[in-house]
Amino acid sequence: MFCPNCGAYLNDGTRFCSKCGSAQTVAPPVQARYVQPAPSPLAGGNPRAEQVRNAVRKLGGSPLFLIVCICYTLAQLISLLTLFIPNDLFSSLYPLLRQMGMSYSDIHDMLSGISGTSGIMGFLGMIPGILIMSGLWMVYGTCLNRSNRLGTGGLTMIQVINILYLVFFGLAMLILLIVLLIAVAATGSLGRYGNDVASAAGIGMLVAFFLIAGIAAFIFVYYIKILTTISKVKETIRTGIPNRKVSGFVAVMCFISGGFSALGGLISITGLAYANLSTILAILSSLLSGTLMILIGVLIFLYKSKMRQLEEEMLAPPAPAYAAPQPASQPAPQPAPQPAPQPVPAPQPVPAPQPVSAPAPVAVCEVTAAAAVEEAVEETVAETVAATVEETVAEIVEETVAETVEEAVAESIPEEAAAQQ
């Protein structure tokens, strides 16, 4: 800032100038205008968003999804049981190791160590499946409880496990392909010296390399589509906006893998009479896995169809509000023509007041009263006739006099004119 008196440069907030000593006016800090925050997409009150969430809730709490949860849980229980069942591989290794000169105690110790290690590794390998099972039950529980807000915790858990699957699968395939490339290069260098076996092995490894790379790419795309589908469902739940862009590729792959798994289980049932416990559990696991995958494919297509329907309803123009038909307006009636005003009659002369006759004495009898009435009527008639005659005579006299005067005047005018000539 600068001093308005002497123009010296001052630090912000200085109250007095160090040069001239004049007081400085410090402007008050400008406060930012308050802006009301935009409502969150999760805020309630939007009937469209609630309709979309209720559609997702209905699918997540449907009997089909419950069967999916039950099948996945039973498959995990079967996998856990197989960890405690002796493997047939160990019984086949026992005579082979015995022929190699190993003692019974050494064979027992080695197989026990292998069995314990495989059990621990198998249990660790089941942890992702157990977490996915927990996520499925979380989704079913939150969809079944309509009193709470629809959450995405179960879907997030399933998504994280699939991401870990994808990462470890990618690393394993990368290591395998690197090893195959090194082996192909080694056999190729041996083939230069005329080793036909090495050349054939190199060609076989090269074919295996491309085959494994293709399968790995296919599985990689499959996991990517699974993650995309879960993300779309979570976005729909969070925003309340329908999104039908879930992967149909995942649904088709679920149908294919589920069909092969169920078919393999059904074929294995034919030899069930000679099967041991491990084989029976493997058959049950195949049937459960096949049912599980087929139902997941059905749920994906149902979700896709429902979201398409909601999108079409949301994009459709709103229907006009219904209004009852109004009757046609009738023209207002024309006012009736008013009659022409009648000429006001000339005022009639007020008749002279008549003398009031003295009240007749009250007759004692009826004859006297009748006579008095007759006399009064006669007097009134006589007075009226006399007055009328007087008026008539006066009018006649006035008219006669006026006519006479006019005639006299009219006759006198020509005589005067003749006398003047």
Residues contacting 248, CB < 8 A, separation 6+:
300, 301, 304
Q: From residue 345, how far is each of 63, 289, 341 by CA, in Å?
A: 103, 118, 12
Residue written as token pair 């307006």: 329
For residue 208, give both structure tokens. 């295996």
What region, left, alpha or beta, does residue 138 occupy, with left being phi > 0 and alpha being psi -120 to 50 degrees? alpha
Q: How many CA atoms lie within 13 A of 143 on its CB side?
A: 25
Give SS3 for 54: helix
**What pLDDT, on the 0 to 100 scale, is given for residue 320?**
57
**What pLDDT, on the 0 to 100 scale, is given for residue 156?**
94
The pTM for the full model equals 0.60
For residue 16, give both structure tokens. 């007095």
Q: Do 57 and 143 touch, CB atoms closer than 8 A? A: yes
pLDDT digits (tens, 9 = 90+) for 336-390: 555 555 655 555 655 555 655 555 444 444 545 566 666 776 777 677 767 776 7
Q: From residue 91, how far is each of 49, 99, 100, 281 by CA, in Å?
A: 61, 14, 15, 19
Q: Which candidate, 194, 314, 318, places its Cα nearest to that of 243?
A: 314
Sorted by where each begins, the domain ranges of the chain are 1-26, 61-150, 360-415
**What pLDDT, on the 0 to 100 scale, is given for residue 260?**
93
pLDDT digits (tens, 9 = 90+) for 103-129: 767 766 776 777 677 778 888 888 999
**What pLDDT, on the 0 to 100 scale, is given for residue 361?**
47
**Below-50 pLDDT ranges, the chain:** 28-30, 36-44, 321, 323-324, 360-365, 367
CA–centroid distance for 417 within its chain:
117
